[in-house]
Each structure stands twice: as C-alpha cells, then as structure tokens.
Amino acid sequence: MSIQDNLTINEKKVLLALDELGSAAPDQLEEKSGLQVDAAMQAAFMLQEKELASVSEKVLERYSLTKEGQEYTKFGLPERQVIDALKTPASLEELRSRFSPQTVGIATGWLVKKGWAKVENGLMLPSGKAPAGKDEKALASFAGKTKTLEELAADEGTVKNLLKRKLVVKHEEKFRTVSISDAGTALAAKGLVLEEEIAQLTPEILKSGAWKGKKFRPYRLDITPKSFYGAKIHPYRRLIEQMRQIFLEMGFTEIKGGIIQSSFWNFDALFQPQDHPARDMQDTFHLDSTCQLPEKFSDRVAAMHESGGDIASCGWGGIWDRELARRNVLRTHTTSVTVKYLADNPEPPVKAFCIDRAYRRETIDPTHTPEFEQLEGVVMDKDMSFADLLGLLAEFYHRMGFEEVRFRPGYFPYTEPSVEPEVYVDGLGWVELGGAGVFRKEVTEPLGIKEPVLAWGLGVSRLTMLKLGLKDLRLLYQSDIDWLRKSEVCKI
C-alpha cells in the first residue's frame, strides 16, 4: 500500500492546502481546505504522525490592567499619592485623615521600600527624592490596551511586582502553526486524488450495495490505540465495600450514627476521664451546642467515674461534670456509635459493625487528615473470650489478603486486655492497623450489659494505603483523574 493510499480524504485536503500555503494558522487552514477547523487540525496531527507535516505551538503572554490598576493610572499609585502630598513630615494619623487607611497602609511599605520616605516615632519623613519608578512607567504604557512584555518595555521583575500587587493580570494565548515537510511537498508534487471513501460499514450500506466500487478508508494495525478506561468504582470505595461485605458474610449487622455526638457517648460512656488529653482542643472538634443526657445511664456513669460504682473499681475520683458531658463534638471515633447501640440493645447476642467517618484536629500530611474512615465493631454474647477476638480479627485480615497477622499488647481507657493488630507487608515489615480489646466492666456495667463485649476500631485509610501501594493518604481524597483511570479494579 502506497503512502497516498494510507491518507484519508481530509488529510489529502489539508496536505494540498499546505502545499500552496507552506505554513498556516488553523483558521487559514480551515479556509483553504474547506474543512471545519477541528477536522482540519485533526488531519494535521495525523499528517504529523506520518512525518508529512509538523504542528508547532507558541504561547503568547499578554497583560492587561485590573480595575484597581486602571484607577491608579488615573490617580497614581498609593505611594505616589502620599509622597506628592507630603511636603513636610506628617504623622500617620494625619495621613489617615487625608487618605483612606488602606491607601496609607499600602503606601507606607512602598515608600520605605523605594527610599522615598521613612517612618520614625510615628512620623512619615520624606527623603526629598521620588523619581518615577519602572512600575509607574509600565502602568502608564498600557493606555487602556492589552500589551505583551516587549510592548511594555518592562523587565520581568517589574511585571511580577505588578502581578503581586494585583494591578495587572496575565492572559495566555496559544497559537498553532501547521507547516508542510519536505516529504509532504514531494508527495503533493506527485498528485493527490480526492475521492469519496467509506470509513465505516453499516447495515444500510451493505444492504443497498452502495459499497461497490467505493474506496474504503485503510486501517493501520501497527499503531497502538489510545488507552480505554472503563467506568469503575473509586478504589477507596471498592475496598470499603470489600470490608463491609466481609463482615456481612460473617453474620454482622451494619449500624449507623450521627457525626455529631455528645461528649457523654463519645467519651464518658467509654470510661474516658474528663481530664483526658484526647478531650483537649488539640484533638477534638468541639461545637457550641449541647444536648440532654440520657437519664437512664447518666447517674450510673457518674457513679462509675467518681467512685467505681458497685464493682471492684475505684473510678477516676473527683466530681463528674454533667455540663462537660452535655457538650457536643464531632465524633472522634465511631466507638460512640457502637457503644450507644449496645446501650439500646443490652441483651445478647449482638454482632454489629460500623464503617464511617471520624474527625480529629490533625495536621494534614501524607499519613494524617482531620477526617478519616474507621471500621468499628462489637460482639456481645455469653462466654465470649479474648481468644475469640483475636480469631475474628485474624480471619478479617486473612480475607483482606494479608497472610501474616500478629497482635501486640496495647492500652486503651475502655478495654482490658487490649491489643494492636499488625500485618506483615513486604518492604515495610509489620504495620499496626488499629486497636482492639474487651470492654472493661466500667463501660458495660452502667449500661446494663452483663455479658463480655469484644470491641475493635481499625484504620480503614491505612489499610487502603497498604492494599493500593500508596505513600500519600491525600490521594484517596483528591480528584486525580489520571490515577483514578489507571488504578486497578482488582489485583490478580
């Protein structure tokens, strides 16, 4: 097949137009070829792939005055307005009475920076010299028109200052030029035949026989087609759904709760002391609203905090502050949801889990965000043991694809014994993924719960980072369309 046979009719039209013009802008190419500009440029890029033409692109930067810049061309920059009126030393208060506080504020810094004046003991002292600066000359040269850097006759530093002061704005204009190559000229000289071609066979063309004697557009099988990205669930959502499905298959009930919780359910019901550091502003988002305490449980929780209630505990001592317990917060963990569910359902058996968002005052970095997902769960039944908890968590992590799971002793105010589950990841070693334990009697007794409660709170985002091989947690929340397109639907 000759190279001419491999050209579409649009490519031939553009090549003939370029043979006459040599090089052309898109609008010139549109006029000469008789094609719409988009079709003409598409053909030009195809010719470029075949080395019959080239497409170059130039970005032209232009600048125009902002509304503020236009005002200053009429009345002068703030520093010029002040220095022209400053014949003798004047106090800043006096200047503010003659000009707006904003004008004086802006002018003061620039007067000192340009050496036109100095400030001593609250007085503005003129230096006696105030020559027109490059910025003033540049502003004056606009004359209400859009200008290039060359037309302004100003250096880049001057224009950067004007941009920083928001006196001018930059516009970028892209210009494309299509030029014919030597190979394209040689091919056009041999003569190009323009004839109608069939790009796609349809049932109508086949039935009518209109295809007979017609030229078919050739297909090149040596060109790698563009990648096709099908619709898919967001990788983070997909893994959350996988975790949800695992617990549903294990016989758990999914529960939900509000993101605004009282300090009572978020802290006090979990036997967290009222002076615990986690309640500080550094960790918790406190709200201005309050709520009513549950009468059924508040006295029991108060007694447990103050003296240990009716069990062999000494509590935390002191006086339990009801007003502090009434304050609302953005939940710092979804344990506030599961403990309230247990209080409403104190009879065994209970198997419940919650995958939802929690909030803490964290500094945003590659491994922390102020809002994150947590996987919370509880099992309450007769004869439940610590061994059952370890087996349940090990089963979950195995189903998530981690072969090696271990547990390290940990401490949490509301569980005893407590552990931190870890999984082994090649290249990283052992990675901790949350906390778990058996609820203390100080938590369950005031809520009327008589059987053991296994509880856990697992980090969903950290687990997702391991599964997706990410080093930056923020990728899970950013709209990086390229990453979303190329992310794997599943690992084989």
Spatial separation of the C-alpha atoms in residues 168 and 154, rounded to whole Å: 13
Quick one: which of 414, 260, 256 has its CA closest to 327? 260
- What region, left, alpha or beta, does residue 20 occupy, with left being phi > 0 and alpha being psi -120 to 50 degrees? alpha
Residue type, 86: L
Contacts of 70 (CB under 8 A, 6+ apart): 144
**DSSP H or E stretch at residue 59:** strand 53-65
> What is the SS3 assignment for 371?
strand
Q: How is residue 277 annotated by DSSP?
A: G
Beta bridge partners of 379: 351, 454
User: Which alpha helices (DSSP H) does 154-255 contain, by range?
Assistant: 156-164, 182-190, 203-208, 235-249
pLDDT averaged over 10-residue windows placed end to end, the chain, 492 residues = 70 88 90 90 90 89 87 87 86 86 87 88 85 85 81 82 88 88 87 74 83 73 78 88 95 94 92 82 85 91 89 86 92 92 92 93 83 93 94 94 93 91 90 92 92 93 86 82 78 47
Strands 123-126 and 371-380: unpaired
Predicted pLDDT of residue 137: 86
Domains located in the chain, CATH noted: 9-58+174-216 (1.10.10.10), 64-167 (1.10.10), 237-486 (3.30.930.10)
| pLDDT, tens digit, 9 for 90 and up, residues 262-315 | 999 999 999 988 888 777 766 889 999 999 999 899 999 999 998 888 888 888
**DSSP H or E stretch at residue 396:** helix 386-399
Contact assessment for residue 53 and residue 184, using Cβ atoms and an 8 Å cutoff: yes
Quick one: which of 351, 394, 378, 355 has its CA closest to 438? 378
| Residue whose pair of structure tokens reads 């516009």 in the numeric block | 171
Q: Provide the 10 A C-beta neighbour count for residue 143.
A: 9
Quick one: which of 3, 1, 2, 6 has its CA closest to 219? 6
For 21, the token pair is 């013009």
Spatial separation of the C-alpha atoms in residues 17 and 70, rounded to whole Å: 45
| pLDDT, tens digit, 9 for 90 and up, residues 240-268 | 999 999 999 999 999 999 999 999 999 99
Predicted pLDDT of residue 2: 59
Spatial separation of the C-alpha atoms in residues 293 and 290, rounded to whole Å: 9
Helices (H) and strands (E) in the chain, counts: 21, 20
For 51, the token pair is 């080395």
Tell me the C-alpha to C-alpha distance, in Å, between residue 483 and each of 41, 238, 243, 477, 488. Answer: 29, 15, 22, 12, 10
Beta bridge partners of 377: 353, 456
Contacts of 178 (CB under 8 A, 6+ apart): 14, 18, 23, 24, 25, 26, 29, 41, 44, 53, 54, 55
- Angle, CA of 311, 315 and 318, to the nearest 5°: 140
pTM: 0.58
Phi, psi of 397, rounded to the nearest 5 degrees: -70, -35
* CB-count exposure of residue 268 (10 Å: 0-12, 13-18, 19+): buried
